[in-house]
Amino acid sequence: MTAIPRQKPVFRFAPSPNGPLHLGHALSAFLNRDMAASAGARFLLRIEDIDLTRCTPEFEAGIYADLEWLAIDWERPVRRQSEHFAEYQSALDRLVDLGLAYPAFMTRGEIKTRVAAAEANGTPWPRDPDGSPLYPPDDRQRADFDRRQLLASGVKHAWRLDMSKALEAVGEALFWEETGYGDRGTIAANPGAWGDVVLSRSDAPSSYHVSVVLDDALQGITHVVRGLDLFHSTSVHRLLQTLLGLPAPVYHHHRLITDEDGRKLSKSRSDTGLCELRDRGLSPADIRHLVGL
Ligand code: GLU
């Protein structure tokens, strides 16, 4: 009998080049690399640069330099999301064709005003797991004629998922396998908590949620290792994977490195930036130690 060759597991580290890497990224990169090595897996680096205004070639070069300094090696070529907008667009087109997405015309300012007006009457506006207000229902409820006219007039718009219709289309409870730091085992997804999530923005032809699920599938990612701040986003990812017929990786959400006030590190703080720490004479071993490995 011929043995069927077993596919190697595939891990990925997927930073966005919108600022310098900090200790939190170092933890994520080390964990990905270490877990991949102990599983005999492939390890990929993906550059998540769909935000064309905030991502720069300098920050991207910084990612390569920092990882090389940490002696973390990855497979080439690197997938850069900005080179794959057409693929994300076809995923969006499928959701539009299924009648599960609608054009969303409200600006950030309009959403804020709408929410503030509702809350002034004493009714708290529903919020997503990150604390942002859910997208108001106005555009979802818009008449087709009105929608077509607005689109034809060239008004800037995003595309959003019609969450209720999407949940109805799936018609069953969704789960994911979690091996990470908080809750473990089979986790029940709750995509509804996010409301009508954005699928593409007026200033970026995709969204984090669409591009991440598509790339994880296209690159055959079997294990997603990333920070706990993305734990709840996994609910949206499981929904999109199901709607688009994509496989689900195993998820491992790791602890976050926080500042002295317990807040998640931000890319604007230079004192935890890897480049800054390297210039101050710290070694890669010191960085491992600092992130608790
Ligand atoms: N690009 C995301 C970030 O830099 C990570 C996405 C992911 O690992 O799923 O926060």
Q: Predicted confidence band at 264 (pLDDT cuts at 50, 70, 90)?
A: confident
Asked if residue 281 has pLDDT above 90, the reply is: yes
* Strand-pair partners of 133: 127
Q: Is the CB of 48 under 6 A from ligand 1?
A: yes
How far, in Å, from the CA of 118 to the mean position of ligand 1? Answer: 33
Q: Do 18 and 132 have their domain in common? A: no
Count of domains for the chain? 2
Helices vs. strands in the chain: H and E counts, helices first: 11, 10
Q: Do 151 and 102 have their domain in common? A: yes
Atom of ligand 1 nearest to the CA of 16: 4
The predicted model gives 172-176 an average pLDDT of 98
Q: Is the CB of 275 under 6 A from ligand 1?
A: no
The predicted model gives 52-61 an average pLDDT of 96
Atom of ligand 1 nearest to the CA of 227: 8
Q: 204 is in which domain, residue-wise?
A: 84-218
- Here the tokens at position 232 are 């709840």
Q: Predicted confidence band at 161 (pLDDT cuts at 50, 70, 90)?
A: very high
> What is the DSSP-derived secondary structure letter of residue 128?
-
Pocket probe mutation, ligand 1, options 226, 228, 252, max atoms within 8 Å of Cβ: 226
How far, in Å, from the CA of 138 to the mean position of ligand 1? Answer: 30
pLDDT for residue 279: 95
**CATH code of 56's domain:** 3.40.50.620
Q: Do 209 and 120 have their domain in common? A: yes
pLDDT for residue 82: 96
Q: Do 27 and 101 have their domain in common? A: no
**CATH code of 149's domain:** 3.90.800.10
Question: For residue 51, how far is the Cα from the chain centroid?
Answer: 12
pTM (global) more than 0.85: yes
CB 106 within 8 A of CB 133: no
CB 20 within 8 A of CB 51: no
Q: Do 156 and 275 have their domain in common? A: no
Residue 132 lies in a domain: yes
pLDDT for residue 53: 92
How far, in Å, from the CA of 108 to the mean position of ligand 1? Answer: 23
Q: Do 208 and 290 have their domain in common? A: no
Q: Do 139 and 201 have their domain in common? A: yes
What's the whole-number average pLDDT of the chain?
95
Q: Do 98 and 197 have their domain in common? A: yes
pLDDT for residue 24: 95
Beta strands in the chain, from DSSP E residues, in sequence order: 10-13, 42-47, 75-80, 101-104, 158-161, 175-178, 185-188, 198-200, 223-227, 250-254
Q: Kindly report the protein residue whose alpha carbon is nearest to atom 3 of ligand 1.
A: 15
Residue 226 lies in a domain: no
Q: Is the CB of 230 under 6 A from ligand 1?
A: yes
How far, in Å, from the CA of 153 to the mean position of ligand 1? Answer: 35
- Here the tokens at position 179 are 């091996």
Among candidate residues 218, 237, 266, the one where a domain is terminated: 218
Q: Is the CB of 45 under 6 A from ligand 1?
A: no
CB 250 within 8 A of CB 223: yes
Residue 89 lies in a domain: yes
Among candidate residues 190, 218, 246, the one where a domain is terminated: 218
Q: Is the CB of 290 under 6 A from ligand 1?
A: no
The CA-atom distances, in angstroms, between 166 and each of 75, 90, 138, 207 are: 36, 17, 18, 17
For the beta sheet containing 101-104, the strands, ordered from the edge strand earlier in sequence to the opposite edge, are: 101-104, 158-161, 198-200
Q: Is the CB of 237 under 6 A from ligand 1?
A: no
